[in-house]
Amino acid sequence: MEKIKIIIVDDHHLFRNGLRLLLEGIPEFEITGEASNGAELLDIIDRTRADIVLMDINMPVMDGVEATIKVLERKPEIKVIALSMYGEEDYYYRMTDAGARGFILKDSDISEVREAINTVKRGGTFFSQQLLQNVIQKIKHREAETKVAVLSKREKEILEKICEGLSNQEIANALFISKRTVDKHRANLLEKTNSKNTASLILYAIRNKLIKI
């Protein structure tokens, strides 16, 4: 089986080294590159094979938001997972708009990092449970959307599966419907909620209590 190729982007050398050592111990992963900021990532991205970029958010020279936008412009097939710290909630919406497919906390257990990478690689979206709980606490102190999208029963079912990190094909299999039907419902959900991508859709669902965490 071909290994999942990963680039680690973080401005802390010790953190990069530690994460690399942990990931290299997992048989299905291969670390193909490292960078200390977004600018360094752009220097290597065209000559480095990668399926996944683990992207720090707050970095000097070029932060994770700008780097995600620029990388996906060049290589839209690459999937970005944000490396987050507590207190960076304001970046989440910017990162999802930029195209990030997942968020994991820097102090996550390696098993959760492994799950995030595998989930995103197969087309799903992944949010650390600790991170989601933190976002929910923040949301409790803010006013929800004034107008919440009205969803059908089927759309709610599909939204729940999306929030579980399932790909369209996995949702189709779980609900015994065609992948084409799931594709259509996902597109409708994005339009109804005015979400740019799946990660934005999940945050919208949490913010407006359309799903239970």
* pTM exceeds 0.85: no
**Right CATH number for 153-207 from 1.10.357.10, 1.20.1260.10, 1.10.10.10, 3.40.50.300?**
1.10.10.10
Give me the pLDDT at residue 86, please: 63
What does the alpha-carbon distance between residue 58 and residue 20 come to, in Å, rounded to a whole number? 19
Phi-psi region of 66 (alpha: psi -120 to 50; beta: other; left: phi over 0): alpha
Q: Count CB atoms within 10 A of the CB of residue 74.
A: 10
- Domain span(s) for CATH 1.10.10.10 in the chain: 153-207
Tokens, residue 58: 């707050």
Q: Tell me which DSSP letter residue 65 carries.
A: H
Phi, psi at residue 105, to the nearest 5°?
Answer: -75, 150
Specify whether the CB–CB gap between 58 and 165 falls below 8 A.
no
Q: Which amino acid is at 116?
A: A
Tokens, residue 38: 């977004």
| pLDDT tens digit sequence for 26-71 | 999 999 999 999 999 999 999 999 999 999 998 999 999 999 999 9
Q: Count CB atoms within 10 A of the CB of residue 54.
A: 25
Kindly provide the b/e burial profile for residues 6-38, where b requires at least 16 CB atoms within 10 angstroms of the residue's own CB: bbbbbbeeeebeebbeebeebeebbbbbbbbbb
| pLDDT tens digit sequence for 137-178 | 665 555 444 567 889 999 999 999 998 888 899 999 999 999
Give me the pLDDT at residue 133, please: 66
Dihedral angle computed from the Cα positions of residues 58, 59, 65 and 70, in that order, rounded to the nearest 10 degrees: -170
Q: Which fold has domain 4-139?
A: Rossmann fold (3.40.50)
| pLDDT tens digit sequence for 69-117 | 999 999 999 999 999 886 566 677 788 889 999 999 888 899 999 999 9
Give me the pLDDT at residue 136, please: 61
